[in-house]
Structure 1
Amino acid sequence: MKASNDLLTDKFGRTVKSLRISLTNRCNLDCIYCHSEGDEGSRNEMTVGMISDIVTTAAKFGVNRVKFSGGEPLVRKDFEDILRSLPELKDVSVTTNGVLLKERAHSLKEAGLDRVNVSLDTLDPEKYAFITHGKPEMLNDVLEGINAAIDAGLTPVKINMVLLKGINENEIDDMIELVRSRKGDLVLQIIQVMDFRDGAQYDLNAEQIEKELEKRADEVTMRKMHHRKKYIIDGAEVEFVRPVENKEFCANCNRLRITADGKLKPCLLVNDNLIDISNAKTEDLPELLRASIDRRVPFYRDYKDITIIKDKTKTGEQ
């Protein structure tokens, strides 16, 4: 029997329609602002069957979108198997650093992936090496991966550019030009850096950046999710993501997160209300999902509060 959709509506009226699932904490890069800290050792990861059971159960409550993240999801060689195991959904996407994307873009599309977000903070090889602790030549792998994703039809490809003071704030125009050159196949998401690891020292004035984008835009629209503005600048689509000190980021949140080791995580910046489902039976998942929704907090709390994640624990989010 199909469960009632309102069972995944929290006490503040927000209905969960989307899952963000971390597939692994492992990563082949070690970015300066990432709180996973390049963890290569953790293999306590959910199985294909477990992921399938969670998504299938959530779909019965009206969840119709899934985004996979990491760590780096493509270090899992069974990602295509995971995609094939899913029920029919409205949208299935992944956030990746793109290094391994070129060789798998077409197989991922064939397995059921709809879209891809690629983390790309710079177009300068030396800056890329500094930010990621990777090799300068890996930037070309990422760019080739983006091209492969477009060729496979994993579009629009969203470029996630974390804005870093003193490093890449002068590259916004270059990124906009990259997006414009692909004529609708790319979208630029400029993302405010969060205070994980060494992130605070790279934070910029987010309001000022948005004002500058708005001045240049030919058109400005609003996305309901996170009340996020979309700017059309000379034909390029640009969004600015502000998760820090932003009440609107939480007010329209319709997403439930799941960590790589199998914990339901109701809120992005809260780490004291997780529910462990790693050993749960399939028949117990509906009640655990409802319990997780009940733990969602009201709209917005200062992310520097002591109850907010601040200890750099590895949550599998990125």
Structure 2
Amino acid sequence: MIEVHLPHVTFEDLGESVRLIWRETLYADFDKDELARVIRRKYRVRPEISVRNGLLVIDTDYPGIEKFVAIYIQNNLGALLRNRYTDRKVLYIHEGMEIPLLGYNAFGLIDRGTNLIQIRGVSGCNLSCIFCSVDEGPYSRTRKLDYVVDVDYLMKWFDDVARIKGKGLEAHIDGQGEPLIYPFRVELVQALREHPNVSVISMQSNGTLLNDRLVEELAEAGLDRVNLSLHSLDPDKAKMLMGRKDYDLEHVLEMAEALVNAGIDVLIAPVIIFGINDDEAEAFIEFARKIGAGKRWPALGFQNYIPYKFGRNPTIAKLVPFKEFYAWLRKLEEKTGMRPLVLRPKHFGMEKREFIPLAFRPGEIVRAEVVLPGRIKGEMLAKARNRLIEVINTDAEVGDRIRVRIVRTRHGIYIGTPV
């Protein structure tokens, strides 16, 4: 009997195939008969393939098979990799691909002209909130694949950005979905903590994937704050808003308290949909006080629901103008004594910084190479001048060289149309 050991990997037996689970968040299925054929061609043996105690077991003692199978799996992993939470195909982006990490919304880095840099190492979400602005999660009707960026490659680009932006940066780990599905979440926090230009490390999260061990690991790695997406304190309403019948509100509330106890500040960040959860505002404030949220930063960050073109926009949502929303927040401040509820950049130490120079100007026509498929139908990603461009309404394929008209450059996110 030979047991195959791979770092950060466990196996599950699915009958005709074995499932490799990598770093808890990604998986790949390998057909048992195909594995056996590969081994037979190399070693002239007919092994049985099984799983025992999370390890891949090969029913033979032939020397060298363990290393051979490990290399075979690693060489074929990329083509089979999928997201455990969305079940979508995953494109793993690493340095050898030479994919720019500036220019696109779904992964990489985003600079919005302040000392806060958004860091997106993964796309995808384990929830399907009914108001999601990007139609994310396992029930998405528009998102067709996910991305994962190698942590060393992500930090290489962050280092370049930080050199331009200067010291005193807030590194904010977020994404189009749930950042904790990133397989290198703890390693990313550790690397950011060691960076000389980083003063604060924050993260957006819905809290469902947290557990006591992960909370401790994130605290030890140096995470300063979690902006917790918590939208109702009523279990049934929370399940409805989060789009999951298995949403465990009690677990999320326990994890919020665990974060505070571990020394990680918490900002409760509900999306307020008037007519649905605005009546819970005072309960959110009471909960934030109870767990001791907001020690260094504001305890609450109420958000006003607004619809998005490519999001899920519930018909039951009542839209409230921002002027009325801020008036509502000020009344809450007066009634509860919780301040600030009307948040400003100064509450987070945010300050304006010079933008990373734009690579393109609106209306410009550039020649670009298509390097990746996009996340929605008719979208591809192209690169030019060491930046990514989201090309919409295109039927181009990876490897094509195309002419693109730049139609949007806001905050260094480039969108173009084929010419």
CA 1:212–1:113: 2 relative to 1, 3 Å = same
| Residues 139-181 of structure 1: CA deviation (Å, up to 9, x unaligned) | 11111110111011111x1111101122101111111221233
Cα offset, 1:235, TM superposition: 4.5
The amino acid of 2:174's aligned partner reads S
Q: 2:210 corresponds to which residue?
A: 101
SS class of match (2:307): coil
Q: 2:306 corresponds to which residue?
A: 194
> Aligned partners of 1:190 and 1:154: how far apart in 2?
20
Does residue 152 (structure 1) correspond to residue 262 (structure 2)? The answer is yes
Is the Cα–Cα contact under 8 Å of residues 191 and 240 in structure 1 kept in the other structure?
Answer: no
CA 1:135–1:265: 2 relative to 1, 3 Å = farther
- Which of 105, 116, 120 is equivalent to 2:230? 120
SS class of match (1:67): strand
Is the Cα–Cα contact under 8 Å of residues 163 and 204 in structure 1 kept in the other structure?
Answer: no
Q: 2:179 corresponds to which residue?
A: 73
Cα offset, 1:205, TM superposition: 3.7
Q: Which runs of 5+ in 1 are unaligned?
A: 1-13, 219-232, 243-251, 258-263, 280-285, 298-307, 310-318
SS class of match (2:133): coil
Does residue 25 (structure 1) correspond to residue 123 (structure 2)? The answer is yes
> Aligned partners of 2:294 and 2:208: how far apart in 1?
19
> Aligned partners of 2:224 and 2:292: how far apart in 1?
19
| Residues 24-56 of structure 1: CA deviation (Å, up to 9, x unaligned) | 221110001113323456342211012111221
Q: 2:253 corresponds to which residue?
A: 143
Q: Which runs of 5+ in 2 are unaligned?
A: 1-111, 139-143, 345-350, 373-384, 389-407
> Aligned partners of 2:186 and 2:352: how far apart in 1?
28
> Aligned partners of 1:193 and 1:255: how far apart in 2?
30
Instruction: Give the length in aligned residue pairs.
Output: 245
- Which of 148, 155, 158 is equivalent to 1:52? 155
- State the TM-score, normalizing by the size of structure 1: 0.64
Is the Cα–Cα contact under 8 Å of residues 65 and 91 in structure 1 kept in the other structure?
Answer: yes
Higher strand proportion (structure 1 or 2): 2
CA 1:47–1:120: 2 relative to 1, 3 Å = same
> Aligned partners of 2:355 and 2:203: how far apart in 1?
15
- State the TM-score, normalizing by the size of structure 2: 0.50
Q: 1:180 corresponds to which residue?
A: 289
Q: Which moved more, 1:123-132 or 1:98-107?
A: 98-107
Is the Cα–Cα contact under 8 Å of residues 94 and 116 in structure 1 kept in the other structure?
Answer: yes
Is the Cα–Cα contact under 8 Å of residues 230 and 269 in structure 2 kept in the other structure?
Answer: yes
Which of 1 and 2 has higher RCO (CA within 8 Å, sep 6+)? 1
Q: Equivalences for 1:1-318 in 2 at 5 Å?
A: 15-40=113-138, 42-61=145-164, 62=166, 64-70=169-175, 71-86=177-192, 87-88=195-196, 89-103=198-212, 104-135=214-245, 138-155=248-265, 157-183=266-292, 185=294, 187-196=299-308, 197-199=311-313, 201=315, 202=317, 203-217=319-333, 234-240=336-342, 295-296=409-410
> Aligned partners of 2:172 and 2:127: how far apart in 1?
20
CA 1:42–1:145: 2 relative to 1, 3 Å = farther
Cα root mean square deviation, aligned? 4.1
Is the Cα–Cα contact under 8 Å of residues 256 and 265 in structure 1 kept in the other structure?
Answer: no
% same residue: 27
Whichever of the two has the greater Rg, that structure is 2
Q: Which runs of 4+ in 1 moved over 4 A?
A: 252-257, 286-289
SS class of match (1:85): helix
